[in-house]
Structure 1
Amino acid sequence: MDRKNRVKPPGQIIKTKNSDFHAIVTGEGPITVILESGYTSVSIDWCYVQPEISKVARVISFDRGNYGWSRSRRKAMTSLDSVEEIREVLDRLKIKPPYILVGHSFGGLSMRLFASMYPEEVAGLVLEDAVHESQYLLTPENTKRISKFRRLVATGYVTSLVGIPRIFKQKIGRKFLEQKYGQSLNYIGYTLGAYQSAYREYVDSEQSAQQLINANPLRPNLSVIVISAKKQPESWKRDQQLLLNLTEHTEHIEVDTGHSVHLENPGIVIESIKKLITNRPV
């Protein structure tokens, strides 16, 4: 079925040390916007945002691990692994700083880590309903939720080996994408690699959280925009407040949407990115 439903990648495949890395690179300009998707999400999730930002800057979106059209031999899928791989891709494509980083949900961890590790290369940071590292720490209040979800992703991975998720139409990926991507989602949402990456990424999530805890603070004068969805549990909203003190120049925007702001109300994300492009230090 995977072979029958195969769809050609919309972007390009870049050979890295550990992966055949799928990236969509569009636009041009002196600044590059890097779009990092959330957990189980892929490059085409930015179908509303990337074309608009491409009018004023170079933009790169991509598929982590074995999501989408990427194929990886990496043994781990932590935030640091993601940062190291996107750095390798930027080098191979000869895309120089400055960068504006955009991280949705789980992708917010790696974009924060990138900004921490390479502070002088980052001109701005957008955290779109980004997860806070405390969500993945095995604290007493988190243990039950984490254990339950870990069993769920393990079951999804094991049963995917015999095609059971396809029977019940439980594919990997998000809703709200343009209809023209339906065929692509029907392919990439059921690959073995997608379920493997969902499992591996979640198993490694506590390590990713520790990487953020151990990282250097962000540059105090870095411009950060935190976009928070209102249709979220109270515990998630409390964690959003923890992101508001990352730098001395952190702005907070609350949006009346669910978790996927860039798909439900992309204009908010587009305007936030454009604001950082316009106001970036020269």
Structure 2
Amino acid sequence: MKIIKWIKRLVMALFLIVVLLLIAGFIFEKIARAKAEKIQPDGQFAEVENHNMHYLEEGKGGPTVVFETAFDPAGHLQWYHIQKDLPKDYTTFSYDRSGILWSERGTNPKTGDKIAEELHTLLEKSKAPKPYILVGHSFGGMLTRFFVKKYPQDVAGVILVDSQYPADEKYLSPELHKMVNQGLPGGFLKFANTFGAARLMFKNMFPLEKQYKYQNSLMPVLLYKSADATLEEQDHMKSIKAEASSINSFGSIPLYIITAGDKKRYDSFITDKKIKAEMLDAWDKMQKDLLNLSTDSKQIIVPVGGHYINQDQPKVIEEAVNAMVKKVTDK
């Protein structure tokens, strides 16, 4: 009987500790968010369909290089270091999709069409010089399809950075397709975000190098702003991919495909050699298939680094951007 009594006391004590930790985390999160609201945004705002959207513009003159971020809560910060390093004799433009970082959520659904419409309106409101060169990473690369379809007259070139392939079921086995499309645990992350744990989990999202100090200082503090909208984009991922797969031609718009080619890039999270070999082979085939989007396309394979080429090998992207700007301005 004494043992049962002590077990009950232990369980109650543990329960009280968990409750106190949750209360402390909740209070900490509230205080941290109040402080974060005082942080001055690094860019500008424009009103898009009754909500404000945030963008960062560098340089002057055309064309405008427009960066579209991956499925990522960091928004425009994924391109911040690249924008700072690119020449200033043409315009570069990054932004936060609705609900991400400093952009208000608004009421538009998270569809590929609406995301493209919002970006186009934002570019018009900011008076970014035409034509546009679209640079999209991963999910952002897939989103460029909707923009090209709706506004082909405004697009002079496209650069896809290790872009998602919307019809990936063509190249992946059912087992692997399920694995790569399982997504983040939304319920758990919303819980963690409410009680202050998410900012600890996503600390140092960027490499621990000097050029990423600004991003690493902001992301844990501002993560709460992006969390819900990022998970909402995940909820709509399947329908966006289905719609994107039907957009299979950019015509003759110049296209660069930048592909991660490091054979070790999956080593940290795929231990099964057979599945890893299948993933490497399938990704290579999907990236080559992207070349068929345009009659004027070429592939740039990056031999070292992983999926986040914009962090691992930013100079490759900078060189491709400069080459595309020269290509479209020399016409």
Q: TM-score, normalised by structure 2?
A: 0.76
**How many correspondences in the alignment?**
276
* Residues 63, 154 of structure 1: alpha-carbon distance in 2 compared, 3 angstrom cutoff: same
Aligned to 1:213: 245
1:178 alignment partner, one of 187, 206, 212:
212
2:71 paired with 1:24 = no
Q: CA deviation at 1:19?
A: 2.7
2:221 paired with 1:187 = yes
Provide the rounded CA distance (Å) in 1 between the counterparts of 2:139 and 2:301.
18
CA contact (8 A) 1:76 1:204 kept: no
Which structure 2 residues correspond to residues 134-213 of structure 1 after superposition, within 5 A?
A: 134-135=167-168, 140-141=174-175, 144-145=178-179, 148-150=182-184, 152-166=185-199, 169-171=200-202, 174-176=205-207, 178-189=212-223, 191=224, 193-213=225-245
Provide the rounded CA distance (Å) in 1 between the counterparts of 2:134 and 2:237.
20
1:275 alignment partner, one of 310, 316, 323:
323
Which structure 2 residues correspond to residues 1-282 of structure 1 after superposition, within 5 A?
A: 1-6=32-37, 7-40=39-72, 41-74=74-107, 76-135=109-168, 140-141=174-175, 144-145=178-179, 148-150=182-184, 152-166=185-199, 169-171=200-202, 174-176=205-207, 178-189=212-223, 191=224, 193-215=225-247, 217-219=249-251, 221-230=252-261, 231-232=265-266, 233-234=279-280, 235-255=282-302, 256-280=304-328, 282=331
- Greater RCO (Cα-Cα under 8 Å, separation 6 or more): 1
What do residues 197-250 of structure 1 show as CA deviations (whole Å, max 9, x unaligned)?
12111110111112212336211x211110011225413333212212111211
Q: CA deviation at 1:170?
A: 1.8
CA contact (8 A) 1:67 1:188 kept: no
Provide the rounded CA distance (Å) in 1 between the counterparts of 2:293 and 2:203.
32
For residue 227 of structure 1, give the secondary structure of its aligned residue in structure 2. Answer: strand
Decide which structure has the larger Cα Rg and report it: 2
Identity %: 24
Aligned to 2:28: none
Q: Which amino acid aligns with 1:253?
A: I
Q: CA deviation at 1:194?
A: 1.5
* Residues 147, 97 of structure 1: alpha-carbon distance in 2 compared, 3 angstrom cutoff: closer
Q: Which amino acid aligns with 1:210?
A: A
- Runs of 5+ consecutive residues of structure 1 not aligned to the other structure: none
Provide the rounded CA distance (Å) in 2 between the counterparts of 1:44 and 1:199.
18
CA contact (8 A) 2:61 2:129 kept: no
Q: CA deviation at 1:131?
A: 0.7
Q: TM-score, normalised by structure 1?
A: 0.88
Q: Which amino acid aligns with 1:149?
A: G
* Residues 249, 267 of structure 1: alpha-carbon distance in 2 compared, 3 angstrom cutoff: same
Q: Which amino acid aligns with 1:278?
A: K
Which one is further off, 197-206 or 6-15? 6-15
CA contact (8 A) 1:31 1:58 kept: yes
CA contact (8 A) 1:228 1:252 kept: yes
Q: Which amino acid aligns with 1:260?
A: Y
For residue 222 of structure 1, give the secondary structure of its aligned residue in structure 2. Answer: coil
Q: CA deviation at 1:148?
A: 3.6
* Residues 81, 18 of structure 1: alpha-carbon distance in 2 compared, 3 angstrom cutoff: farther
- Runs of 5+ consecutive residues of structure 2 not aligned to the other structure: 1-31, 267-278
CA contact (8 A) 1:228 1:254 kept: yes
CA contact (8 A) 1:136 1:209 kept: no
Q: Which amino acid aligns with 1:276?
A: M
CA contact (8 A) 1:65 1:72 kept: yes
